[in-house]
C-alpha cells in the first residue's frame, strides 16, 4: 500500500547514532522482579508479548541478567532469521543475547517508531547477512549498531507510528477473536464427548503404534544445508491442531534414511512430550517425510479417525488426563508410558467422524480469523517496505 511519502527531508543515520543499548545488569533472585523473557516468549512477526516466565517458578539460566522496562524494544540477536522484535508492557529480565534498546534522544527518534525500524524486511535481511555462526547464528552489537536507514522527521515518525501501531492493535483484537472461536470449538467437543458417555478404553486398544522421535543427541544428525537436508520437527514446531514451520532444523539425508522409525507419515499424530505436554497435530501431506525430535508419534488403528484423536488430546476433556499423567513441576514431561494410560472414548468410526465434522465447522470461524491475520501481515509488511524499503 502507498503511504504518499516524501523522503527528500529524511536523513540517513546509523542505529548507534540514535539508539542506546541498555545494559542494566541485575541478579534475577534478588532483583525483586517477577517476570523474565526467553527467546520462546518473544513471537516472530508481532510486537506484543503475551507469554513470559516467572522468576522462582520457571527454570531460568545464569545468563539472564538484563533488566528491561515497559516500552523498551527487545531484539533477539540469536537466530536472526526468526525476526523477533517486541515491546514489553512490564518490567523484567531477559538473556544476554537479547538486546534491550531505547532512543538516545526523543527529539531525533521516537521510541514508538523504533520497533518498526527493526521490523522492516530490509533490516532483517541485513541482520541475517551479518550474523555469525552456523547452527545458532547471532548478531553482535557492533554489526547491529552499524545498520543504516533513512530516518523521517519527527512529525512523519509520529504519523507512521500511529498507523503501524493501529495495525498491531487490530492484530491483537483478531488474535483474541481467533482464540475465543477455538475455545468455543473445544467446549463443544468436550461437551459432546460427555453426552455420549461412551466407554473409556486405554489408548493402546485403539492405537496401533506409539513411539518417540529422535531423543539421543539429535544434533549429531544436523546439517546446515537446508536445500538437501530433511526437515525435523521439534516441540516448538507443533501447535494444537497445526504446525509452525518457521524454525526447522535439518538432518543430513543419509542420517534421515537411517531414522525411519521417526519418519512421519500422512495421518500420523505428533504429540509434544516436554513443555506443553499433550499438544497434538495430525501430519498433513506436506509434512509427511519429515523426521522429528523428542515428539511422540501416534499411528491410530483402522477404527480410529486421526483428527478425532488430535481433537481429543487437545480438548479440555483429554488435557485433564494428560496433566494428571505428566511428570515434573517446573518443566512438565509426558512420555509414551503415560500416553498408554490415557482413556479414550470408544466411539464408533461414524460417530467420531460426525463429531469431527461438527467441531471443525465451529473451528472454521477460527480459521477465518487466521486468514484475516494473514492479510494483516501482508498489509504490515507492505507498509514497512514502503517506509524503509524491501530486502534489497
**pLDDT single digits (tens) 203-246:** 998 899 999 999 989 999 999 888 899 999 999 899 988 898 88
**Of the candidates 208, 85, 214, which has an alpha carbon nearest to the alpha carbon of residue 144?**
85
Q: 245: which DSSP letter? A: -
pLDDT of residue 49: 92
CATH superfamily entry for domain 204-346: DNA methylase specificity domains (3.90.220.20)
* Pairing verdict, β 35-37 and 92-95: parallel
Q: How confident is the model at residue 366 (pLDDT cuts 50, 70, 90)?
A: confident
Residue 45 burial by Cβ neighbours in a 10 Å radius (0-12, 13-18, 19+): middle
Same fold: 11-152 with 204-346:
yes
Whether pLDDT at 123 is above 70: yes
Q: How confident is the model at residue 328 (pLDDT cuts 50, 70, 90)?
A: low
Whether pLDDT at 331 is above 60: no
Contact 18, 113 (CB under 8 A): no
Contact 369, 377 (CB under 8 A): no
Write down the architecture of domain 11-152 according to CATH.
Alpha-Beta Complex (3.90)
Whether pLDDT at 392 is above 80: no
pLDDT of residue 1: 55
CA distance linking residue 191 with residue 87, whole number of Å: 39
pLDDT of residue 2: 62
Q: Where do the structural domains in the chain lie, given as residue ranges?
A: 11-152, 204-346
- Cα three-residue angle 53-59-64, rounded to 5 degrees: 75
Residue 220 Cα to chain centre, angstroms: 25
pTM, rounded to two decimals? 0.69
**Which of 257-280 are b and which e, b meaning 16 or more Cβ less than 10 Å from the residue's Cβ?**
eebeebbbeeebbbbbbbeebbbb
pLDDT of residue 391: 60
Phi, psi of 233 (to 5 degrees): -80, 145
Do you know the residue count of the chain?
A: 392
Kindly report, residue by residue over 23-58, the tens digit of the pLDDT.
999 998 888 999 999 988 998 888 999 889 999 888
Measured between alpha carbons, how far apart are the two ends of the chain, in Å?
18
Cell, residue 287: 509434512
Amino acid at each position: 500500500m502507498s503511504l504518499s511519502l516524501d523522503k527528500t527531508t529524511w536523513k540517513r543515520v546509523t542505529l548507534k547514532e540514535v539508539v542506546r543499548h541498555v545494559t542494566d545488569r541485575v541478579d534475577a533472585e534478588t532483583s525483586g522482579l517477577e517476570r523474565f523473557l526467553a527467546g520462546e516468549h518473544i513471537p516472530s512477526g508481532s510486537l506484543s508479548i503475551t507469554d513470559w516466565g516467572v522468576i522462582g517458578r520457571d527454570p531460568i539460566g545464569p545468563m539472564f541478567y538484563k533488566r528491561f522496562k515497559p516500552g523498551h524494544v527487545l531484539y533477539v540477536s540469536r537466530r536472526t532469521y526468526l525476526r523477533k522484535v517486541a515491546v514489553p508492557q512490564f518490567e523484567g529480565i531477559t538473556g544476554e543475547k537479547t538486546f534491550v534498546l531505547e532512543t538516545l534522544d526523543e527529539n531525533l527518534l521516537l521510541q514508538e517508531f523504533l520497533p518498526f525500524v527493526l521490523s522492516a524486511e530490509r533490516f532483517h535481511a541485513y541482520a541475517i547477512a551479518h550474523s555469525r555462526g552456523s547452527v545458532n547464528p547471532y548478531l553482535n552489537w557492533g554489526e547491529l549498531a552499524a545498520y543504516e536507514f533513512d530516518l523521517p522527521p519527527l512529525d512523519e515518525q509520529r504519523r507512521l507510528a500511529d498507523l503501524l501501531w493501529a495495525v498491531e492493535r487490530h492484530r491483537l483484537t483478531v488474535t483474541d477473536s481467533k482464540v475465543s472461536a477455538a475455545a468455543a470449538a473445544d467446549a463443544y467437543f468436550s461437551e459432546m464427548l460427555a453426552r455420549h458417555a461412551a466407554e473409556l478404553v486405554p489408548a493402546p486398544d485403539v492405537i496401533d503404534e506409539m513411539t518417540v522421535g529422535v531423543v539421543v543427541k539429535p544434533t549429531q544428525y544436523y546439517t546446515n544445508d537446508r536445500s538437501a537436508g530433511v526437515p525435523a520437527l521439534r516441540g516448538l514446531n507443533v501447535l494444537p491442531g497445526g504446525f509452525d514451520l518457521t524454525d526447522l532444523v535439518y538432518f543430513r539425508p543419509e542420517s534421515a534414511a537411517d531414522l525411519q522409525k521417526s519418519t512421519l507419515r500422512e495421518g500420523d499424530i505428533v504429540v509434544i512430550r516436554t513443555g506443553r505436554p499433550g499438544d497434538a497435530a495430525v501430519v498433513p501431506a506436506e509434512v509427511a517425510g519429515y523426521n522429528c525430535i523428542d515428539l511422540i508419534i501416534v499411528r491410530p488403528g483402522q477404527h480410529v479417525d486421526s483428527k478425532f484423536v488430535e481433537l481429543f488430546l487437545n480438548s479440555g476433556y483429554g488435557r485433564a488426563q494428560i496433566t494428571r499423567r505428566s511428570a515434573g513441576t517446573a518443566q512438565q514431561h509426558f512420555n509414551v508410558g503415560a500416553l498408554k494410560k490415557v482413556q479414550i472414548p470408544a466411539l464408533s468410526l461414524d460417530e467420531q467422524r460426525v463429531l469431527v465434522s461438527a467441531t471443525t465447522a465451529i473451528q472454521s470461524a477460527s480459521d477465518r480469523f487466521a486468514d484475516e491475520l494473514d492479510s494483516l501481515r501482508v498489509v504490515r509488511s507492505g507498509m514497512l517496505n514502503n517506509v524503509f524499503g524491501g530486502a534489497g
